Structure 1
Amino acid sequence: MFDPGARLLIVDDNRVNRLLLSRSVELLGYIATVAENGRAAMDMLRTGTFDLMLLDIEMPEMDGFEVLEAIKLEPSLQDIPVIVTSSVEGVDNIVRCIDLGADDYLPKPINPVLLRARLSSSLEKKRLRDEQETLLRRFATSEVVKDLQETGFKLGGRRVHASILFCDIRGFTTISESQSPEDTIELLNIYYTLMFEAIDQHGGIVTLMIGDGLMVLFGAPQPLKNPAASAVAAAQDMQAIIAQFNLEQAAEQKPKIRLGIGIATGEVVAGFAGTKQRATYTCIGDKVNLASRLEGHTKKASCPILIDDATRAGLGENRSCRPIGDVTFSGFSTPVAVFSVDPQ
């Protein structure tokens, strides 16, 4: 598939080769930028945006092999297709280029028909990869995407120290019954937008969305210095954002939103669960169940944010917590010390 306007970086120490190759790709409708050696090419790749690189092998300062090796070490550059254009002969050299990450190989002098075909094929593959990454980022958080890029996809989990936050809208059923389905969906979309902003700011990832309910994980897949403090800060921001949003709702005579948030901290198993065809990043453990119970208890305790003792311990003396006593939750054999955290 022809991709007009694609930006190509041509790397060759021979001036005539650069000019001829530039002319060839520009006649095909692409935009050509040139570099006279590998070191200059790496600088351009780090500061510019390119859709494909045509790379010579024999160059001073930094040859093509070294460029391929350098690209492999920089995740932000690894998705750029590289077609090696070289007069270096021998199957071993071609194999080495492919092993180092090159997408294709064109011997010099370059056949214009082959050039057109290889460019079209490589750019189409890049377009498909870009579309896949866009879809992935739409349905997964940046932290999960980063974990997938660094470690690859694998079902299973690992033990981590994390904080789990559960949140829902109190009286959401009543709100839903008082307005049209379209208005309810719009309210939910606004709610998600506001909550995700606060969650993202403090390093959390949403692992579950059910109606108005959210499950958020702090401390995995990317570790946090203090997941408990991050979770509580996010909860306070969530309450503060909703308070401001409610002022706008009141001005338009629309229903206000009240949140209940529960947070528990401790060891959980986090990772991908499901099948190879369909999986989600989540976590399991007693602390997950406890966070859910704490969120449910906010209604009975008339407190917007409830946390367990492990979360309170992670806050140090910087935030005041009010003990509300020991509570026996369903599924737990012993009472749990519960604390209330005031919104900001």
Structure 2
Amino acid sequence: MAEQGARLLIADDNKVNRLLMGRSVELLGYRASVAENGRVALAKLREESFDLLLLDIEMPEMDGFGVLEALKQEPALRDLPVIVTSSVEGVENIVRCIELGAEDYLAKPVNQVLLKARLASSLEKKRLRDEQKILLKRFAASEVAQDLQDSGFALGGRRVEASVLFCDIRGFTALSEKQPPEETIELLNIYYTLMFEAIESNGGIVTLMIGDGLMVVFGAPQPLANPALNAVQAAQDMLAIMDQFNLEREAAGKPGIRIGIGIATGEIIAGYAGTQQRATYTCIGDKVNLAARLEAHTKAASCDVLIDADTHHALAGSVPANPLGPVQFKGFSQTMEIYAIAPQG
């Protein structure tokens, strides 16, 4: 059996039923714990990890319906498979259990052959859901994965106040032409590892990766108290990490890597774009375009990090920045006041 060793919780107010059900599931190769009512069952589920709940309906303090309703309200527990085992008759009760999220319904006395089949089926579904969650976390930021779990998937976006950061490696094309493709891929993987550490530790999520280019949003899908400060702190950490990395490259006789970073703050539209079959979490708006222009302008300005006026205002003097005056960027009708973040130390 694929899921032998899984941990099951049995919630039933009848001691004999608990003992008999516990023995049945243990003979099938599972581990069993018991709870004498719904309130105790919920407490155990919140404190310990279980793979499935076998739930009676008629119990004191909190009945099975109450447990199912509570599970639906808790993101950490709503995906737990529940098999109702009850002597309560009536199609309306079965329908209510299923509507409240129960995986299955078995009438008492429970047929052992049917129990074996339903447990195996429910646990296999849970295994597949767990694998999907692992894949989602691997290919999406934890904040996006949490947003999908809390709100579900829907194409479209919402207006949010956030900071957008663009970053890329200067002279990456020329560098790539001077070394084997395998070395370039290895460099990119190291670069991503280092940059993601600085970004994620400051509350940002990477929404786009194109070659050496990264697009990052701070303040969506989860809000931040001061996304501009988070973005600037992430930029400073990124530069500090690259300085350390360059010491290793220079020791190995390789050229140092320089990056340019642009940050803009304000209203953007963030959400899921694409199709029902393939979508990504992204953001659009003038501030996104401005952050990209700022990053590109770091070369002309000979600065590592450039920010817009709204980002500078949000920092409220907490991070030193030098005004560079107004700049006319392509695609913008008015000039933009920009600032260079002063190097640390």
Partner of 2:248: 248
Between 170-179 and 213-222, the greater mean CA deviation after superposition? 170-179
SS in 1 for 2:280: strand
**How far did residue 174 of structure 1 move?**
2.5
**How far did residue 343 of structure 1 move?**
3.4
SS in 2 for 1:76: coil
Unmatched segments (≥5 aa) in structure 1: none
Equivalent residue pairs, number: 344
- Alpha-carbon distance in structure 1 between the residues aligned to 2:97 and 2:124: 21
Unmatched segments (≥5 aa) in structure 2: none
Residue 283 (structure 1) aligned with residue 275 (structure 2):
no
Partner of 1:198: 198
Partner of 1:34: 34
- Alpha-carbon distance in structure 1 between the residues aligned to 2:175 and 2:35: 62
- Alpha-carbon distance in structure 1 between the residues aligned to 2:60 and 2:248: 64
SS in 2 for 1:77: coil
The residue identity in structure 2 corresponding to 1:201 is S
**How far did residue 81 of structure 1 move?**
0.1
Between 127-136 and 110-119, the greater mean CA deviation after superposition? 127-136
- Alpha-carbon distance in structure 2 between the residues aligned to 1:176 and 1:276: 36
TM-score under structure 1 length normalisation: 0.97
**How far did residue 186 of structure 1 move?**
1.3
Partner of 1:309: 309
SS in 2 for 1:271: strand
The residue identity in structure 2 corresponding to 1:168 is D
Between 112-121 and 131-140, the greater mean CA deviation after superposition? 131-140
The residue identity in structure 1 corresponding to 2:185 is I
SS in 1 for 2:76: helix
**How far did residue 150 of structure 1 move?**
2.1
SS in 2 for 1:59: coil
Partner of 2:334: 334
Percent pairwise identity: 72
- Alpha-carbon distance in structure 2 between the residues aligned to 1:343 and 1:55: 61
Q: Structure 1 206/23 Cα, relative in aligned 2: closer, same or farther at 3 Å?
A: same
Tell me the C-alpha RMSD between the 2 structures. 1.3
Partner of 1:154: 154
**How far did residue 255 of structure 1 move?**
3.0
Partner of 2:120: 120
Residue 90 (structure 1) aligned with residue 90 (structure 2):
yes
**Retained in 2: the 8 A contact 1:240–1:343?**
no
Partner of 1:264: 264
**How far did residue 175 of structure 1 move?**
2.2
Q: Which runs of 4+ in 1 moved over 3 A?
A: none
Alignment of 1:216-235 (within 5 A): 216-235=216-235
Partner of 2:102: 102
Partner of 1:49: 49
The residue identity in structure 2 corresponding to 1:318 is S
- Alpha-carbon distance in structure 1 between the residues aligned to 2:28 and 2:255: 58
**How far did residue 31 of structure 1 move?**
1.2
- Alpha-carbon distance in structure 1 between the residues aligned to 2:318 and 2:224: 18
SS in 2 for 1:187: helix
**How far did residue 252 of structure 1 move?**
2.5
Between 218-227 and 174-183, the greater mean CA deviation after superposition? 174-183
- Alpha-carbon distance in structure 1 between the residues aligned to 2:245 and 2:47: 40
- Alpha-carbon distance in structure 2 between the residues aligned to 1:270 and 1:318: 27
**How far did residue 5 of structure 1 move?**
1.1
- Alpha-carbon distance in structure 2 between the residues aligned to 1:160 and 1:255: 40
SS in 2 for 1:75: coil
TM-score under structure 2 length normalisation: 0.96
- Alpha-carbon distance in structure 1 between the residues aligned to 2:259 and 2:248: 16
- Alpha-carbon distance in structure 2 between the residues aligned to 1:5 and 1:161: 47
**How far did residue 214 of structure 1 move?**
0.1
**How far did residue 259 of structure 1 move?**
0.9
Partner of 2:60: 60
SS in 2 for 1:98: helix
